[in-house]
Amino acid sequence: MPAEKLLLLGVNHKTTPLAVRERIALSGGYEQPLATVKGLPGVKECYLLSTCNRVELLLVMEPDSGVEERVVEFLFSGRVAIAEADQYLYRHYGRAAVQHLFKVAASLDSMVVGEAQILGQLKEAYRHAARNGTTGPLLNKLLHKAFSVAKRVRTETAIGSSAVSISYAAVQLAKKIFGHLRGRRVLLIGAGEMAELAAEHLVGQGVDEVVVANRTLARAVALARRFSGRAVSMEELVAQLQHVDIVISSTGSPDLVLRRDEVKSVMRRRMNSPLFFIDIAVPRDLDPELITLDNVYLYDIDDLTSVVEINKSERDREAVKAGRIVEEETLKFMNWYGGVAVTPTIQALKRKLDDIASQELERTLAKMPGLGEAERQQLARMTDAMVAKILHDPLMYLKSESCAGRDRSDAKITLVREVFGLGSDDHEA
C-alpha cells in the first residue's frame, strides 16, 4: 500500500561555496523550473525556493519512482558534474524535511540568524507555486504552517531584535573600511529588495547621496526618490564610478555587470581614491578580478560571514527558544500528517464492521419474526456496542502517539489492513 513521500533537497551557503551556487542559481524566474519539475514522472506536488544563499525543492512524490535522481540532474546538469553533486546536496525526508522548512522560515538556517527577509522570499516563492498549480493539499498545508511557525518565533522570542540582514552586514563592512559613512556617496546597482534594504541602512548611517542604477529606469527612479537620491541608467554605470565611494550590487543578471578593465580605466580618473565594492548577487555581478586592482576593495556574500557575528551571542540565546518552537510545531504537524494517512483505514475498518454487523442483524431478525419493535431496537443497540468494543483497541493502536510519524503510520496501516482483510487500497494525504 504505497503512500506519497515528502522530500526536501537543495544546496545552501553552509554546504556549497558561492562559485558553485552561482552556477546553479535559477535566474530565469520560477515558472519554467516549476513546470519542469512538476512534469517529472512521480512528482505529485512541488515547491521551489531560490535565493542568493539557497536553492531548495520541496516535493510530494510517489515512492520508488526515481524522482530524486531526476531532480538532482535537473538542478546540476550542465552546470556541475553530477558525480560532484552529493558533496553539496542535502536531502531531508518526512519529519526532517518539515523541520528543515520550519527552521528556514524562522530564519534559524540563514547566514544571519534572525533576519526577516527569508520569510518574504518563502511567501513569494509560494505565490509562484500556487499560481502555477504545482502545490496541492499537503504542501499548501505545510507551507502555511511554516509561515505561522515563523510568526510565532517572531512573537515569542527576541531573535529579530538583534538580527542583521545581509544588506545590513554589507553596510557594517563598509563602515569598517571607511570608519564612518557620513559624506560618502553610494551607488546601488539593482533596485530590488536587497538594494532597498541596503539603502535604508546606508541612509541611517548618514551617507551623503544614494545613486541607483537599474535596467528598468522607472524602478531606479522610484527607489531613488524614496531616499532623496537620483537614478541613472545601466549605460551610465561606469561613468558613475568616478563619483562614488561605495558600490553595492544586487541584480538578477546571469552575467557580470562590471568587469576589471572597465573599473581599471575609472581608477585612473579617480586618482586611485579607494573604491569599495560589495557584491550580494548570485550569480555574482562583479568580476572577481577587481580585487587585483590597487585601492579597490571587493567583498562577496561569502565574505560577509565575519560581519554577521554582530550580536551573535544574543541571537544564539534566542535561537534556542526558537528551536524549541520549531521542534514543537514539527511534532504537531507530523501528528497531523500521520493522522491523515491513517484516516482512510479507520474509515474502511468501521465500514467493514458496520456492514458485517448490519448483515448479521438482518439475518437474525429474519429468523425471529415474532419480535416486537422494542426487542429489535435492543438487539441493534447490542450489535452497535459490540462493534464499538471490537473497534476500540485497533483504533487506539492506529491513533497512538507512541507510534506517531508518517513512516510508522504506513507500517501500522499495512498491518491493520492485512489483519482485517481491508485490501491494499492507496491512502493519500
Catalytic residues: 52
CA distances from 272 to 107, 174, 245, 259 (A): 40, 18, 11, 17
Instruction: To the nearest 10°, report the CA torsion of 402, 406, 411, 417.
Output: 100
CA distance 382 to 376: 10
Instruction: To the nearest 10°, report the CA torsion of 178, 167, 150, 148.
Output: 150
Amino acid, single-letter form, for residue 354: D
Residues 6+ apart with CB under 8 A from 397: 403, 412, 416
Q: If we measure between CA atoms, which residue out of 258, 251, 236 comes closest to residue 188?
A: 251
- Nine-digit cell string for 237: 554605470
CA distance 140 to 129: 10
Sign of CA dihedral 168, 173, 174, 180: positive
Q: Is 331 exposed, middle or buried (0-12, 13-18, 19+ CB in 10 A)?
A: middle
For 55, the enclosing helix (H) or strand (E) is strand 54-61
185-189: strand order across its sheet: 230-232, 209-213, 185-189, 246-249, 275-279, 296-300
On the question of a cis peptide bond just before residue 283, with omega within 30 degrees of 0, the verdict is yes
CA distance 343 to 409: 10
CA distances from 158 to 113, 120, 153, 287, 425 (A): 11, 19, 8, 38, 48
CA distance 164 to 117: 10
